[in-house]
Every structure is written in structure tokens, then in C-alpha cells.
Chains A and B, each alone.
Chain A
């Protein structure tokens, strides 16, 4: 058992688990024919069958049962404020599974030339009174009963009275913001706490204007919208939900990583060996000191960031993504690239940090401008 536990501890390190998820993701939500073929070949699509759903459910439950009886994970898991996360894991998984199952069923129907399952004769409608009203009433009552039972069984979290002099370690934001707090490991607060949240909000609002695919409206479907699905689900399930799980369960004192079955050692020492890009270039590569002029010092970083965000999309529009650019037009293409590239900047920075200990691409602490 302890071997399995230390293996799970090893697996859940962000470097490992995030990589596994990212590598597996295109096979789970295949965005192209190649991945689609592999998905069929390796039977990944079975995740969305009854059996697949059942076994993943069993695995998650097994993890929580083992975790409950583990002295270390028990503390994290039964913390009253973490209960919604357990609910989140189950409900998010169950409903993603349900939606994908329905999507696959509809894909097959569409392949056979049939209408999707949701389709009905437009003249054959039901009355809201009583057909919808009683469903709403039942849903409402059941939900209220569940909420009351939950409230009776588990008292709301309340810790010691506020004490501005005693900072808890770790200090965590409310659970739904832990994805943002996790981003703070890789980006400065002005990005992780302000710019990225705004980009998430505006980027999500822009989704209907960026997704020009008219198909798949009003019914569950995957095949007709696979690229959109891939991008959205990656952002949603990996960059938001999964980071929340990491932030809740795997981040201990000093925001260090701890496996689920590890003890949260407040004295765990993690060497900080991160180096800025400018130091890499000027000191390590060119063997010079850092230039005094700030712009000159960070020129490489500026070139990298501007190149990534602005030059690369222009080059792509002329070469590989020409068809997309022609199809989308300049404004829509620019919007898609800005939001898309910003989203993928997060995993890119994560890997730069993990592989090269890169601290900042552009480091101007004088102006609080670090990227």
C-alpha cells in the first residue's frame, strides 16, 4: 500500500500530472483525424461508455476512500472548506461524461444520416403547465432536501477569530480562485491576478464570435465541433478545474507541492534556482554583465514576447494558417490569436520553468513589469 501511495504522490506532482494530462488530452478530445484514429485504435472513446464511466467513478471513489483513512490526506480532505471540491470533482466528471456520452450517440446518429436525439417535430410541443412546472418543482424540492441534509450534517467552516498578526501557512484564496493562485507560481500578480482573469472573462465572452462553426447548435455533439471542444475543454478542465484541484489538495506550507499522502512539512526546503532570461543571455551565454539600460537588458525577452504574441500570428496568417485567416478575416483572426496564445502562454511558461528554471522572460522589477 505504501508503495502505491508514494507512487500516487509521485504522479500528482504538477510536473508529472500536468504533463500526463496535457499529453493525453488530444487523445481524449481528439481535435484532428490523426488523434481521432488513435482514439479509436486505443479505445480511449470507451471513457464515455457506461463501463468507462463506472470504472473512473470507482477509481475516484477508491482514491477518496484510501485518502480518508490516510492520516495526512484525511486532514486535507475533511477540511470543511474543501468539501465543495470533492463535490466539484464528482459533478464535473459525471456531467462531462454524460455530455460526451450523448455527444457520441448523436455523432453516430448523424453519421447514419439521422437527426440528433434532441430533435422533435416542431409541431409536437409539450405544455409548460404541467409538463415543465412539475419537473421544476420536483428538482427544486429534491435539491432543497439535499441542501438541508448537507447543512445539518456538516457545520459551516469557522476557524479562530481573525488575527491580522497570525498569517496561516499556507494562506489560500477561496477554492474557486485557487486556479488563479496556482498561476501565481508562474506569473507575477499583475498577470496572474489581474490581466489573465480579465482575459478569461473577455475571452469567454468572445467565444461565440470566434467560433464561426455553425454546426452542433442545440444538441450534444463532438465530431462536428472537435477543435472548439479541444480548446475549450483544455482551458476548462486542465487550466481551470485541474489547477484548482492542485491548489486545494497538493499545495501545502509556503505553497510547496505535497503529494496527497505526504505530511505537510512546514520546513520543507525547495531550492529557488530560477534565473531570468536576461541573465541566461547576457551572463551565461555572452559572459558579460547585465546592461545598465533596462530596455537593452530585457531586449531578448521583449523580442520573445512580442514575437510570440504579435509576429507569430502574422507569419502564421501568411503561411500555415492562411486558410484560417482567409476564412476568419483580420479582426476575428487577431482576437482568436490574442486570446488563444495568451491561454497557451500558461502551459508554455510552466514548462519553461520546469525545464530551464526560467523565472521571468521579461524581468523589470523596477517597473513591476515581469512576464
Chain B
């Protein structure tokens, strides 16, 4: 008896231990039933169904772009958190903190990972959309999820846009100036937009340079200190929060709408 027990490898014994079994109740997935349970019983993996049609695991069909977009979101969250340790969103410190990131911080490629990852995420989201269009996967019953996807794509670009300002270099403030200048022409709520002059009490304009939508976005009349703080909060908290809610809906609806699309 005792001899047979010793033949078990360390890994097998670990798999049988109380600690392991308390974490992963299905044990080491060896047979078909345990493998299905490994997916069903795991909070992260159970985004997936337990079984899939064969075409769904082919990279030629999915291009893996949706998954990579989500993966990049995770990478950007992690690198973003690390960057937040060093970065102060003030006009005084922002730029020098960015310099410090490359020159003082060990393994100083966090900003690179974050920046290039952000560009890559815009691309993977676009390519995911292209794949979904080309396979006709937006068709019923997945119409609603396509709409959620379009919003997620918009949020991705807005996330990238708000992050653009944070290095506080020439590239940043002028790209954001060009972008937010559009807001002054917003119909009715931008001070240079059509219809804005209609919103007036007597001869007092309600929508002017200090009260329009651009002012709300920038926290001022031009891209300055308040804008930097606003974009920082939008970039690190507000937009990721909204995006995560939409992502949860997006993933949940994939399952509810019948899983990955495929020919009937």
C-alpha cells in the first residue's frame, strides 16, 4: 500500500490535496466530463461555452481580433496602473514625469507598451469589426450586440484620444486642440454651432465660450491645466468604467445570442 502511494508524482499529489481541490473542484481535467467542468466551473473561462463548433476555433475564421482587443484592454489596464504610480496630471509635472518614466524607472518600456498597445487596440477593434461584417455575423439574432460593439469601438477611440493629451507635449495638446475644437461647432450647445444663438433669454446668450460643450469638455476656454485633469480622470476612471460595462454586456450577449456565428 505505502509503496504504491509513493509512485504518485508530486503534481498528482498536489492535484489530490485539499488546497487544490478547494480551489479547482473539478480536479485535473483528464476525461471529457472533467474538461467540460473545467470551463464551466471557472469564472474566467466560463465566458466560453464548454463545447464549440469546429470552425469557431479556427484562426482563419475569427482572426482572433475580438479576443486580442480584450487582451489589449487588460494589458493597457495593467501598464496604465503602473504608469499611474509615476505620473502626476499637472502642467508642472506631467511632461517631466514622462521623461522620468524612460530615464529613471527600471524596465522603462511601460509607456511604450501602453502607447503602442493603445494604437494596436484601435487597430484590432477595427479589424474585429471588419471580420464581423465579412462573416455577416451582425445579422439577426446578433443585431443588438453589433450595436454594443459599435459603441465599444467609439469608446476605444475616445479612450485613446483622452490618453493622447497626458504626455503634455506638443503632439498632445495640439492633437487635442484640433479634436476638441470640433465641439465648439456642436449644434445648439457649441458657441459656434448652428442654433446656439437661438438659446438666449432676451439678448443674453446662454451658450457662449464660457458655457458651451467645449468648455465642459476642457474645463476652460483652451486646453490647459483643468483639461489635463479632466482627461486624466476620463482616461483612467470614467471611460474604462463605461467600457467595462459595455464589454460585459457584449460578452454576455455573444453567449445569449447563440454563441459564435456560424452557418446553419
Give the B-binding residues of A (Cβ under 8 A). 81, 83-84, 87-88, 91-92, 95-96, 98-100, 102-103, 115-120, 122, 124-133, 135-136, 139-140, 143-144, 147-148, 150-152, 154-164, 166-168, 171-177, 180-181, 188-190, 192-195, 201, 204-205, 207-209, 211, 213-221, 225, 232, 236, 364, 367-369
30 sampled A-B residue pairs with Cβ under 8 A: A92-B130, A100-B134, A115-B263, A116-B263, A117-B55, A120-B54, A125-B51, A126-B52, A127-B35, A127-B36, A127-B50, A129-B29, A130-B29, A133-B39, A152-B109, A162-B95, A171-B174, A172-B174, A173-B175, A174-B160, A189-B182, A192-B182, A208-B143, A211-B138, A214-B140, A217-B136, A218-B135, A220-B135, A232-B133, A368-B196
- Chain A min CB distance to B213 (Å): 9
1/0 per position for B124-168, CB-CB distance to A under 8 A?
A: 001100110111111110110011001100100100110010011
Is the pair A162, B122 in contact by a Cβ cutoff of 8 Å? no
- Chain A min CB distance to B126 (Å): 8
Is the pair B169, A128 in contact by a Cβ cutoff of 8 Å? no
Please, how many angstroms separate the alpha-carbon atoms of A115 and B32 in the complex?
A: 29
- Which residues of chain A are near B68, meaning CB under 8 Å? 139-140, 143
- Chain A min CB distance to B112 (Å): 3
Please, how many angstroms separate the alpha-carbon atoms of A144 and B54 in the complex?
A: 26
Is the pair B170, A161 in contact by a Cβ cutoff of 8 Å? yes
Instruction: Apart from A87-B120, A118-B55, A140-B68, list 8 A-B contacts with CB within 8 A.
Output: A84-B116, A91-B123, A119-B55, A162-B95, A189-B184, A194-B185, A194-B190, A208-B139
Is the pair B185, A128 in contact by a Cβ cutoff of 8 Å? no
Is the pair B60, A98 in contact by a Cβ cutoff of 8 Å? yes
Mostly helix, strand, loop or mixed at chain B's interface? helix
Is the pair A144, B48 in contact by a Cβ cutoff of 8 Å? no
1/0 per position for B229-250, CB-CB distance to A under 8 A?
A: 0000000000000000000000
Partner of A130, one of B35, B114, B164, B179: B35
Mostly helix, strand, loop or mixed at chain A's interface? helix
1/0 per position for B82-99, CB-CB distance to A under 8 A?
A: 000000000100010011
Is the pair A176, B113 in contact by a Cβ cutoff of 8 Å? no
- Which residues of chain A are near B138, meaning CB under 8 Å? 207-208, 211
Is the pair A154, B112 in contact by a Cβ cutoff of 8 Å? yes
Is the pair A126, B57 in contact by a Cβ cutoff of 8 Å? yes
Please, how many angstroms separate the alpha-carbon atoms of A150 and B133 in the complex?
A: 29
1/0 per position for B246-264, CB-CB distance to A under 8 A?
A: 0000000000000001111
